[in-house]
Amino acid sequence: MTAALINVLIFPGLLFLFVLSLIGEYYDRKLYARMQNRMGPPWFQPVADFIKLLSKELIIPANADARIFKVLPLVACISTIVAYLYIPLFSNNSLLPFNGDIIFVLYMLTLPTLSYALAGWYSRSPYSLVGTMRVLTQLFAYEVPLFMAVLAPAILASSWSFQEVISFYGNSWLWLVNIPAFAVAIVTLQGKLEKVPFDIPEAETEIVAGVFTEYTGPLYAYFRLAMNMQTIVGASLVAAVFFPFGFGTCVLLNFVIYLLKIAFIIFLLALMRTLFARLRIDQMLVFCWKYLAPVALLQITINIIIKAWF
Amino acid sequence: MHAGEIEIELKEKYSSSILSLSVQRERRLWLEIKAEDFRSCFERFIKEDGFIILCTITGLDTGEKIQVIYHMSDKDGKMLNIKISIDRNSPVIGTITDLFPAAELSERELEDLLGIKVEGLAPGRRYPLPDNWPQGQYPQRKDWDPSVLDKKIEKSGDKND
Amino acid sequence: MTKRIVIPVGPQHPALKEPASFDVTLQGERVADILVKVGYNHRGIEKGCEGRPYLHCVYLLERVCGICSHSHSTCFIQAVEEVANVKIPERAAYIRSIFGELERIHSHLLWLGVAAHEIGFDTLLMYSWRDREVVMDLLALLAGNRVNYAVNVIGGVRKDITEEEKEQILKAVDILEERTKYYIQVATEEVSFIERLSKVGYISYEDALRLGAVGPTGRASGIKRDVRKDDPYAAYEEVEFNVITDDHCDVYGRAVVRVKELMEAYSIIRQLIKKLPQTALAVNVPKNIPAGEAVARYEAPRGEDIHYLKSNGTDKPDRVKLRAPTLANVQSVAKMLENGNFADVPIVIAAIDPCFSCTDRMIVASNDLLSAKENRMTWKQLREFSIDWYKKNKGVDFSKIKKLGK
Amino acid sequence: MSKKLGKVFVEAVTSLFKKPATSGYPFEKREIHKSYNGKIAFEQPKCIGCQICVKNCPAKALIVAKVQDKVFEMTISLAKCIFCGQCVVSCPKKALSTTSDFELAQSDKNKLTVKL
């Protein structure tokens, strides 16, 4: 019981993920800034932002449904943390492995997006309303390619569990086959995290902050936290599925390799943020279905062929 | 065509409506016409004389009359400034938004700042004064007293604390 | 979807750096209707000029707008000089043109950054504003200020350009030219940039003419109008340059026109520096300007700027009227957005390079007379409210902290 | 137009290894040109009290007061000053000059009125 509580609350649950997400946010912002030839924030900026938001006044719009309005940020946070508990980080085993945990994690990661949409809907502000429409439209655009891309390696391993996928690839170089799916996963992950070029649901210059427009103070802090944790969880998921190596006996080495893996993935995400302009929602739909979905399908086909061949 | 040639031409064509016409320099023509002939002349300036661009409309209060100046330009950069004078107590002009939709803001400005009634201007939001500006206060008129505003501010007691 | 929602873009909105209001009626993501309201920034400058000596008017008009400050002061001074029948020394005309072009460079680089930001391309914003610092530093060196240069006086200019400064200008222009070539490449080749800009905010040649679009907005629709060519002022008759036009008629075309105009500006500055004649800087103009009236035109970075001046023989003008380029352009925004996407609203508004300070020129500060109904808080009330709030909700008592400055 | 993807890639990656263009302002200060229009400097002995600067100041920020015979004192309101430098140009005795001091913000309003 105590062990389980420690797992949930401290390691690798809430506290660890919290610290890691703040570090991740700092790293992401610093990289983004340096690529734009700026200095970027000091190391304590994410913590300072978080504390500042917590101390601010909480304003709930008169039209909003107060109860749901307050609950949604927590839903987003909790579902992200739960997803994290089921991802193997630095051993080939997650905390609570079971068959089908890949699917479970993917669905847990969809929950925050839905809570954003609901948050926008219940805010009853025109900006949030447009934001909600865009969140849902975007969800339809990236979710299918993301699922296909993440599940392609699992198809090759003929299993829905992280443990078996990782042990299937073992120390062979077969994971290199999945690189196209990795590319699709990174791009769609960017869409899931709602960052440029896919920050359409919260496009600052169009709809202020989209679904979060009416959120202030602590509630907004939790949403931001959920967003940051999602970055880490998403990166961990992609790392576990596409880089199934570096799970040796030395735990410390494994830990360093894990950090390097997510650092690399966050770097790719930051790079994408630097290079492109924001797409329009219709362009996003076209892009996802015209380019990403076929690539992911192709990957699945390749994997099925390889499987038949072996 | 030089400004001098245009001057002669305009004088011949519109002799009945022109009150005065002068050439300040190359590309600057000043023209004062009778207010009642304005519309018909204006249309002809556009169609026949090539002054197809409306730069802006200026309204000014001379003390006895309200003057409205239409600054027109042709493609070579010649400017024709058409001046009409109207009665100060009940200033009325006709709209030109049917010819130049872009004149809308300028005409609203005349309404707001000088209290000119623009006939035929479609209803819309006022410009540039705030929506709750007091009725009948036209700041661009020479006899307008800005202290109307100051007094009220003092009364409310909050002085930039 | 039949339900329509009205999205207020402005008076305060992250897409707009200045107050203006665009009420966008949306049908899904499509713009069904748009209602433009300007006038939030009316500061009574025209009226203010009437009570001030000409010398003060120059400084007041320079502050109509921060970006095109030189445009407004030069345009006004041209009108004054025409009424007073003064011919300025040649060197003064050249220096005015040099400042005008430097201003155009910084304005267009600023626009490029803003436009990039509106479509979420912050990297380009950072790069172009970083490079804009080169010209801002140059202006600070030449004039002493980054904006509101105060180089103009009635009858000429106040600041000279020394040999050493000439070198620095040329050096800066070389750096900027190289960077601008890069931006031309980015603007014309980067896919995501083009995708967001082309076929957005379309306005045909006829519509642009009818709605009176000026400057780069008009030129991107093929209207070959440029006051520098049509009605030359300052030293523009002495230099050769092209009027850049484009036939895309969309936001992409406006971007291309602006970056290409930058290249023209560099060439103009080089020619002016090379030819800079050695004459006096200014002639003396008596304080009292003879009665008369004049209209002056000036090609500001955003388009044609027009000042009307009526003088009455005293040292104060009788009537000053100014028409900023944005006033001419803002009315075409509604047309550009017809059947557009909501996502394109910010960039289309930004594409005319709006400057509502120029457009409006007046607001009455603390106008409590206007309505007592509105719920307004004074500074004091706001402070008390916040102290109460923190006491009640956070248990912190801030009332002990002394008010700054007391 | 020839379309390319990621046109700023090279610049972005090289920027990672370049010195940032921005600086941590209050700690790191940039060099300011000597010709910068900052706070006005006043040389008291040169002043003849002609009041031209006061009259020409568009912001009415200057006050020149007579302290004793042929000695004048100048007070400037930095809140009103628009840093145009007109007073420097107007002064017939060149008693005024601009300095590159631009960090003039104060949290106390009264401190903004300075005796020069």
Residues B87-120 have pLDDT tens digits of 888 888 888 888 888 888 888 888 888 888 888 8
Shortest CB distance from C331 goes to which of B25, B30, B105?
A: B105
Task: Tell me what ipTM this predicted complex has.
Answer: 0.85
In this prediction, residues D99-106 reach a mean pLDDT of 84
Minimum-distance CB partner of A35 among D6, D16, D23: D16
Q: Mean pLDDT, chain A, as a whole number?
A: 85
Q: So where are chain A's domains?
A: 57-309
Region B7-31: mean pLDDT is: 81
Whether the CA torsion C332, C338, C340, C345 is positive or negative: it is positive
Identify whether B70 is part of a domain: yes
Instruction: Residue C303: give its domain's CATH number.
Output: 1.10.645.10
pLDDT at residue B155 greater than cutoff 50? no
Q: What does the pLDDT read at residue A26? A: 93
Could C127 and D11 be called an inter-chain contact, meaning their C-beta atoms sit closer than 8 Å?
yes
Check pLDDT > 80 for residue D102: yes
Most confident of A165-179, B12-26, D72-86: D72-86
When mean pLDDT is compared across A52-66, A146-160, C323-337, C388-402, the lowest value belongs to C388-402
Please list every residue in chain C whose beta carbon sits closer than 8 Å to the beta carbon of residue A198. none
Whole-angstrom distance, CA of residue C200 vs CA of residue C343: 10
Q: By percentage, how much of chain D surpasses pLDDT 70?
A: 98
pLDDT of residue C375: 53
pLDDT at res. C364: 34
Strand pairing report for C152-153 and C292-300? unpaired
Look at chain B and report how many structural domains it folds into.
1
Domain at B81, CATH number: 3.30.460.80
Whether C192 has its CB under 8 Å from any CB of chain A: the answer is yes
β-bridge mates for residue B60, sequence order: B67
Distance from CA of A207 to the nearest CA of C (A): 8
Inspect the interface and report whether the beta carbons of A38 and D21 lie closer than 8 Å.
yes
D25 contacts on A by Cβ (under 8 Å): none
Residue whose pair of structure tokens reads 């068959």 in the numeric block: A99
* A residues 223-282 closer than 8 Å to C (CB): 274-282
Mean pLDDT in order along chain C per 10 residues (406 residues): 73 78 79 78 80 86 84 89 88 90 90 87 89 89 85 87 88 90 86 84 84 85 85 84 86 88 90 88 86 88 87 86 82 80 81 68 38 56 79 75 53
Distance (Å) from the alpha carbon of C139 to chain D's nearest alpha carbon: 10
pLDDT the model gives residue A27: 92
The 3-class secondary structure across A232-291, one letter per residue, is: HHHHHHHHHHHCCCCCCCCHHHHHHHHHHHHHHHHHHHHHHHHHCCCCCHHHHHHHHHHH
pLDDT at B27: 83
pLDDT in tens, A279-308: 888 888 888 888 889 998 898 898 888 888
B133 is written with which tokens? 């500006």
Instruction: Look at D18 and C373; give whichever has higher pLDDT.
Output: D18
Nearest to A277 among C192, C345, C394 (CB): C192
**Does residue B135 fall inside a structural domain?**
yes
- In chain C, the residue whose alpha carbon lies closest to the alpha carbon of B26 is C231
pLDDT at A65: 80
CB pair distance less than 8 Å for D3 and C194: yes
Does A touch B (3+ CB pairs < 8 Å)?
no
Best of B76, B98, B127, B144 to mutate (most C CBs within 10 Å, chain C): B127
Question: What pLDDT is attached to residue B1?
Answer: 65
For testing the chain A interface, which of D16, D18, D19, D27 should be mutated: the one with the most A CBs within 10 Å?
Answer: D16
Chain A residues closer than 8 Å to C120 by CB = 196-197, 199, 203-205, 277-278
> Are the beta carbons of A126 and C29 separated by less than 8 Å?
no
Residue of A nearest to C395 (CA): A55
Q: Is residue B161 part of a domain?
A: no
> Whole-angstrom Cα distance, residue B66 to residue B57?
13
Contact across the interface for C343 and A57, Cβ inside 8 Å:
no
Interface of D with A (CB under 8 A): 6, 8-9, 12-13, 15-16, 18, 20-24
* Interchain pair C393, A57: CB under 8 A: yes
Residue C192 and residue C309 share a domain? yes
pLDDT of residue C1: 45
Min CA distance, A295 vs chain D (Å)? 18
A-chain residue closest to D23, CA distance: A39
DSSP A141: H
Band of the pLDDT at A267, cuts 50, 70, 90? Answer: very high
pLDDT band at B43 (very low <50, low <70, confident <90, very high): confident
Q: What does the pLDDT look like over A195-212, one tens digit per residue?
A: 888 888 887 777 788 888
Residues C346 and C382 in one domain: no
Are C212 and B53 in contact (CB < 8 Å)?
yes
Please check whether residue C319 lies inside any domain of the structure.
yes
How many domains in chain C? Answer: 2
* Domain, as residue range, for B136: 3-156
Closest chain A residue to D13, measured at CA: A35
- Find chain C residues with C-beta within 8 A of A35's C-beta: 123
Q: Coil, strand or helix: which one is B125? A: coil
Residue of B58, B76, B79 best to disrupt the C interface, most CBs of C under 10 A: B58
Partner D, chain A 29-58, Cβ-Cβ below 8 Å: 31, 33-40
The whole domain housing C405 covers: 378-406
Is pTM beyond 0.90? Reply is no
- Is D66 within 8 Å of D101 (Cβ atoms)? no
Classify burial at A111, counting beta carbons within 10 Å of its beta carbon; exposed 0-12, middle 13-18, buried 19 or more: middle
Query: Could you tell me which chain C residue has the CA closest to the CA of B63?
Result: C318
C19 inside domain: no
Contact across the interface for C39 and B56, Cβ inside 8 Å? no
Tell me whether strands D113-115 and D71-77 are parallel, antiparallel or unpaired: antiparallel
CA distance linking residue C226 with residue C216, whole number of Å: 9
In a domain, C22, yes or no: no
Whether there are 3 or more C-beta pairs closer than 8 Å between D and C is yes
Position B8 scores a pLDDT of 81
Can you tell me the distance from the alpha carbon of B122 to that of A129, in angstroms, rounded to the nearest whole number?
Answer: 33
Say if residue B61's pLDDT is above 80. yes
CATH architecture of D32-115: 2-Layer Sandwich (3.30)
* C308 and C166 in a common domain: yes
- Rounded to a whole number of angstroms, the CA Rg of chain C reads 23
Cβ atoms of A196 and A278 closer than 8 Å: yes
Question: Interface partners of A (3+ CB pairs, < 8 Å)?
Answer: C, D
User: Which of A31, A34, A276 faces D20 most closely, judged by CB atoms?
Assistant: A34
Same domain for C301 and C402, yes or no, is: no
Last residue of a domain, one of C312, C340, C355: C355
**Residue C378 DSSP SS3:** coil
pLDDT of residue C372: 41
CB C302 within 8 A of CB C75: no
**In terms of CA atoms, which chain A residue is nearest residue C117?**
A205
Q: Cα B95 vs. chain centroid, distance in angstroms?
A: 10
Q: How many CB pairs under 8 A join A and D?
A: 34
Q: Which positions in chain A touch C127 (Cβ < 8 Å)?
A: 36-37
pLDDT at D60 over 50: yes
Burial call C73-99: b when 16+ CB within 10 Å, e when fewer: bbbbbbbbbbbbebebbbbbbbbbbbb
Cβ partners under 8 Å of residue C167, min gap 6: none
C-beta atoms of C123 and A36 within 8 A: yes
Say whether both C138 and C280 belong to one domain: yes
B75 lies in a domain? Answer: yes
Residue A135: enclosing H or E segment and its boundaries? helix A126-157
Q: Are C327 and C387 members of one domain?
A: no
B residues 68-87 lying closer than 8 A (beta carbon) to C: 69, 71, 75-77, 79, 81
